[in-house]
């Protein structure tokens, strides 16, 4: 199988439940050219090197992928709006020093040293939410883990953290769903349906951004609760964030702040149910739960890769020279199963030693919300293990969502005997 | 010559793991981690850990930071235990001698502890004030132990009028930073041209000096403190500097570097002394002739081993992770035989926190002759710099830019060319290397002599020539 073919298969929708056999194929060359101007990095050590290499840029405007996408797209009707607001990139598609500044501005209101208590303070509310959701499932014997458990928890939490009205969730949920479905890096993107999805996705992103722009502007000069308000009313050394840039980052934090958590909770349940005995093992040794979660993140990385990076110089790595200007896809999910780094890499082992996986990325763009996500997933899994009696998978593999990047089940049906009090 | 059956070697290892006696001298980070690693390796024999401090093993980095600030009590930095040890702890009693013939460690209380394998992890202590009478004045401190930190923290909490810190290495600079955070007037007197110069060179030293002054430190460079004067109650009140000035001070901290705890090895015939205890890359101690021993191992601040990346020069690395990894490798090798022994080949790494800046480094900067600021902004105190020697990258340091260290570490590990290629963004400016300005290592270092004795090849050997006292 050529790298091009392996790549196309890994990206194909029908292979979303298991892209890994194609990643294994691809990893025969840990750094491989998979399309014009696109290099996929599937080796652990090669990915580690490139994630930290200051010659690899995350500035999406430098990537040939972005250029191609822009050239292919009709300007959407919302383009005028976007122009009016300017198109300030969020931190994930920016390089230092802008990235560093934006991350500092946002982190100031999210974690230590300036805001050490925010994340821990969310704990009791998260646990309550999880319990409320399972209370609702009392009296039935089937639950869709995605819709009825994994999704409501993080979306509620991120709304609270950011200061996004929870009642707007129904509106932005659809936008986010369509936006994700619209980002297709596989062969189906070129079909009519694919183009239609891309179109819808672009419109959804524009609508979402417009919504967040309005929200951010409503906070400007009127300090309120939540990170977004604090971002635009800041008196830190870096000053307040400009509203356009705040809106871009709001979009990033809103989406990334729950979507990958949903996928991780779902994948935790899926993985435990696929591995007989692991439910009982974690129930008897709850201390293993955090390790089990990290192992799930290694196996089923919620963000499989992020297609923003490109090489700013010829970079030699893993026996290949990535030419200057090429897109560089750091395939976290693939590298997390590199047998040179992880023994028996497809095996679920909650006690795996030295499990330094890329589930949270690596380098300066390492997951901003990781500590919050860890808390959410831990509590969600603890409550699930404590209360759901005799859970069984209904369909395996479950149906998957379309996105190759934010990979996760669309639904995950689980049967059970009863919900314990 | 007899060829031993392969099974015999395996039997030796198995038997030693079951019945051997291992003694670890030094109950701090390296000793503790080595002990845990020994048990992880399956060593079930008798394990004795000897330490001169009475506390159980604790972490030192917080002492000059969180503890001095008063955030964490001095006795609350106990190291986490990674597993059960089932060890015989002999805490609060110093080792005073080593008899290699009878394989015994002699203790201050007269006890003798026999060993089959010995790990030397006695580390360092702070260099005391050069004048003992002045050093005994109340208000004069050094900082190495938890007790030191507790006493100094109390003195700082009492709001002294002015603190004088003598020596602007990492610890001295961290203490100055804490003083400023506590709102205390502080003078730093440094004999070199700037802070951190010994570790990071004059270019970085200039930046460190600016940071100190921006934060209100009265930094005096190129001066030494010649005398301390006390009041009638025996409390330090005044310091005389080599530039003729005097300072009114209530607290003086001598931050003059460290002395390696090798005195107890005197006469044991090991390559031990001023510079530490010489050992091979597998942590096995050298005897005085440079012949490797089979039973004695060294780890932590006191170990001095050849490092492949630095022309096989013998290096001591007083870094936290060197203690951890060195302890682990020593432990592994103590219960293994060739070819299962592993080398301890650390990429040296360290960190410091001062004046709101997280300083991190990899490699051995003083090995370099040149430096180039590669990424970020010196003005904003967010940058990375690489050090080079003869065209290869040998070290790097970051100020609030630590996430990039992985990259520089990889460059150093593969002896990549210096200067490194320019980054694709956030370049610090001119990428032309400049002299790193390290002080001459030969200056001010009085090494004891080693002499060769004997004439026949059979009785030829080395001996230390005792220092004139």
pTM beyond 0.90? yes
CB A95 to CB B375 under 8 A? no
Please report whether residue B462 resides in a domain: no
Angle at which helices B170-181 and B197-214 cross, to 10°: 10
Domain count for chain B = 3
Sheet holding A392-393, edge to edge: A142-144, A413-415, A392-393
CB atoms within 10 A of CB A200: 17
Per-residue confidence band for B442, with pLDDT thresholds at 50, 70 and 90: low
CA nearest to B410 within chain A: A49
Min mean pLDDT across A35-44, A83-92, A148-157 is at A83-92
Please report whether residue B350 resides in a domain: no
Q: How far apart are CA B316 and CA B122, in angstroms?
A: 13
Please report whether residue B169 resides in a domain: yes
Same domain? B306 vs B323: yes
User: What pLDDT was estimated at residue B9?
Assistant: 80
User: What pLDDT was estimated at residue A224?
Assistant: 83
Per-residue confidence band for B220, with pLDDT thresholds at 50, 70 and 90: very high
Between A100, A313, A362, which is nearest B424 by CB? A313
CATH of the domain at B394: 3.30.390.30
Across the range B380-389, mean pLDDT stands at 97
ipTM over 0.85: yes
pLDDT digits (tens, 9 = 90+) for A322-380: 999 999 999 999 999 999 999 999 999 999 999 999 999 999 999 999 999 999 999 99
Same domain? B150 vs B118: no
Same domain? B142 vs B229: yes
Same domain? B240 vs B141: yes
CB B403 to CB A363 under 8 A? yes
pLDDT digits (tens, 9 = 90+) for B314-336: 999 999 999 999 999 999 999 99
| Helix (H) or strand (E) segment spanning residue A365 | none
Chain A residues at the B interface, defined by Cβ less than 8 Å, are: 48-49, 52-57, 59, 95-97, 100, 311-313, 362-364, 366
CB B423 to CB A54 under 8 A? yes
Shortest distance, CA A53 to any CA of chain B (angstroms): 6
CA nearest to B376 within chain A: A97
User: What pLDDT was estimated at residue A84?
Assistant: 41
Contact (CB, 8 A) for B309 and B291:
no
Please give the share of chain A, as a percent, with pLDDT higher than 70: 96
CB atoms within 10 A of CB B275: 17
User: What pLDDT was estimated at residue A125?
Assistant: 97
Of B239, B256, B273, the residue at which a domain comes to its end is B256
Same domain? B102 vs B119: yes
Per-residue confidence band for B448, with pLDDT thresholds at 50, 70 and 90: low
CA nearest to B401 within chain A: A364
Per-residue confidence band for B3, with pLDDT thresholds at 50, 70 and 90: low
Q: How far apart, in Å, are the Cα atoms of B37 and each of B47, B58, B84, B101?
A: 12, 17, 11, 27
Please report whether residue B341 resides in a domain: no
Same domain? B189 vs B154: yes
User: pLDDT averaged over chain B?
Assistant: 94
Between A48, A311, A364, which is nearest B403 by CB? A364
Phi, psi of A239, rounded to the nearest 5 degrees: 75, 180
CATH of the domain at B299: 3.50.50.60
Across the range B370-394, mean pLDDT stands at 97
String of DSSP letters for A166-202: GGGHHHHHHHHHHHHHH---SGGGGSHHHHHHHHHHH
Please give the share of chain B, as a percent, with pLDDT higher than 70: 96
Span A3-419: which CATH code?
1.10.630.10
Shortest distance, CA B204 to any CA of chain A (angstroms): 21
With 60 as the cut, is the pLDDT of residue A60 above it? yes
Please report whether residue B206 resides in a domain: yes
CB B407 to CB A313 under 8 A? no
Q: How far apart are CA B151 and CA B17, in angstroms?
A: 43
Per-residue confidence band for B293, with pLDDT thresholds at 50, 70 and 90: very high
With 50 as the cut, is the pLDDT of residue A76 above it? no
Q: Where are the domains of chain A?
A: 3-419
Min mean pLDDT across A221-230, B96-105, B436-445 is at B436-445
Q: Does B414 touch chain A (CB under 8 A)?
A: no
Domain span at residue B111 reads: 6-63+78-125+259-334
Please report whether residue B20 resides in a domain: yes
3 state SS of A223: coil
């Amino acid at each position: 199988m050529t790298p091009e073919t392996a790549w196309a298969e890994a990206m194909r929708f029908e292979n979303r439940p298991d892209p890994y056999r194609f990643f294994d194929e691809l990893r025969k060359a840990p750094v491989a050219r998979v399309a014009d101007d696109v290099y996929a990095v599937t080796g652990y050590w090669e990915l580690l090197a490139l994630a930290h290499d200051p010659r690899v840029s995350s500035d999406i405007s430098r990537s040939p992928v972005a250029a191609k996408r822009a050239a292919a797209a009709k300007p959407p009707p919302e383009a005028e709006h976007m122009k009016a607001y300017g198109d300030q990139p969020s931190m994930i598609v920016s390089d230092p020093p802008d990235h560093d500044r934006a991350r500092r501005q946002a982190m100031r209101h999210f974690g230590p040293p300036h805001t050490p208590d925010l994340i821990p303070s969310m704990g009791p509310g998260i646990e309550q939410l999880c319990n409320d959701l399972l209370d609702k499932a009392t009296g039935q014997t089937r639950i869709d883990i995605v819709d009825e458990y994994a999704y409501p928890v993080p979306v509620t939490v991120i709304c609270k953290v950011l200061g996004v009205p929870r009642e707007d969730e129904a509106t932005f949920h659809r936008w986010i769903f369509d936006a994700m479905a619209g980002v297709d890096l596989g062969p189906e993107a070129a079909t009519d349906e694919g183009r239609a999805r891309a179109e819808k996705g672009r419109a959804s992103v524009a609508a979402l951004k417009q919504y967040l722009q309005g929200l951010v502007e409503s906070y400007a000069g009127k300090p309120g609760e939540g990170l977004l308000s604090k971002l635009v009313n800041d008196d830190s050394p870096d000053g307040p964030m400009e509203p356009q840039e705040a809106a871009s980052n709001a979009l990033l934090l809103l989406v990334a702040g729950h979507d990958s958590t949903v996928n991780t909770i779902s994948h935790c349940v899926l993985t435990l149910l696929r591995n007989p005995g692991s439910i009982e093992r974690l129930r008897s040794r709850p201390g293993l739960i955090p390790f089990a979660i990290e192992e799930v993140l290694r196996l089923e990385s919620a963000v499989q890769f992020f297609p923003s990076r490109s090489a700013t110089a010829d970079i030699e790595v893993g026996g290949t020279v990535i030419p200057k200007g090429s897109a560089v896809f750091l395939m976290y999910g693939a590298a997390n199963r590199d047998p040179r780094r992880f023994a028996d890499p497809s095996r679920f082992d909650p006690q795996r030693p030295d499990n330094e996986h890329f589930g949270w990325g690596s380098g300066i763009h390492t997951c901003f919300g990781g500590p919050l996500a860890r808390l959410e997933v831990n509590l969600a899994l603890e409550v699930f293990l404590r209360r759901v009696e005799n859970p069984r998978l209904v369909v395996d593999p479950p149906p998957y969502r379309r996105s190759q990047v934010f990979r996760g089940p669309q639904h995950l049906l689980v049967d059970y005997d009863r919900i314990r009090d | 010559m007899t060829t031993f059956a392969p099974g015999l070697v395996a039997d030796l290892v198995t038997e030693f793991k079951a019945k051997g006696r291992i003694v670890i001298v030094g109950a701090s980070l390296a000793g503790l981690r080595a002990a845990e690693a020994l048990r992880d390796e399956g060593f079930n024999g008798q394990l004795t850990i000897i330490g001169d401090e009475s506390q159980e093993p604790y972490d030192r980095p917080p002492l000059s930071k969180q503890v001095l600030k008063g955030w964490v009590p001095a006795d609350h930095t106990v190291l986490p235990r990674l597993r059960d040890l089932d060890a015989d702890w002999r805490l609060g009693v110093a080792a005073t001698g080593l008899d290699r013939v009878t394989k015994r460690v002699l203790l201050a209380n007269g006890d003798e502890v026999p060993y089959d394998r010995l790990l030397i992890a006695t580390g360092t202590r702070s260099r005391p004030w050069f004048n003992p009478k002045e050093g005994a004045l109340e208000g004069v401190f050094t900082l190495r132990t938890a007790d030191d930190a507790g006493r100094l923290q109390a003195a700082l909490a009492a709001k002294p009028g002015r603190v004088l810190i003598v020596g602007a290495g990492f610890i001295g600079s961290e203490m100055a930073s804490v003083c400023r955070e506590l709102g205390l007037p502080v003078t730093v007197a440094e004999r070199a041209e700037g802070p951190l110069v010994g570790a990071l060179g004059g270019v970085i030293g200039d930046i460190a000096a600016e940071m100190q002054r921006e934060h209100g430190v009265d930094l005096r460079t190129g001066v030494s403190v010649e005398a301390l004067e006390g009041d009638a109650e025996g409390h330090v009140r005044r310091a005389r500097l080599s530039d003729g000035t005097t300072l009114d001070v209530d607290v003086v901290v001598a931050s003059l570097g460290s002395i390696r705890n090798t005195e107890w090895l005197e006469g044991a015939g090991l390559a031990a002394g001023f510079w530490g205890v010489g050992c091979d890359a597998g942590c096995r101690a050298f005897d005085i002739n440079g012949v490797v021993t089979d039973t004695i191992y060294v780890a932590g601040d006191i170990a001095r081993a050849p490092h492949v990346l630095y022309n096989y020069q013998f290096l001591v690395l007083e870094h936290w992770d060197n203690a951890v990894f060195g302890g682990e490798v020593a432990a592994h090798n103590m219960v293994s035989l060739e070819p299962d022994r592993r080398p301890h080949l650390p990429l040296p790494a360290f960190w410091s926190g001062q004046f709101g800046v997280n300083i991190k480094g990899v490699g051995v900067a003083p090995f370099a002759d040149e430096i180039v600021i590669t990424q970020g902004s010196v003005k904003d105190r967010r940058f990375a710099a690489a050090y080079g020697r003869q065209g290869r990258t040998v070290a790097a340091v970051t100020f609030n830019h630590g996430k990039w260290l992985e990259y520089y570490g990889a460059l150093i590990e593969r002896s990549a060319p210096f200067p490194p290629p320019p980054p694709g963004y956030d370049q610090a400016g001119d990428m032309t290397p400049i002299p790193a300005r390290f002080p001459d290592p030969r200056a001010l270092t009085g090494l004891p002599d080693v002499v060769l004795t004997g004439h026949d090849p059979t009785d030829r050997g080395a001996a230390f020539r005792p220092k004139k006292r």
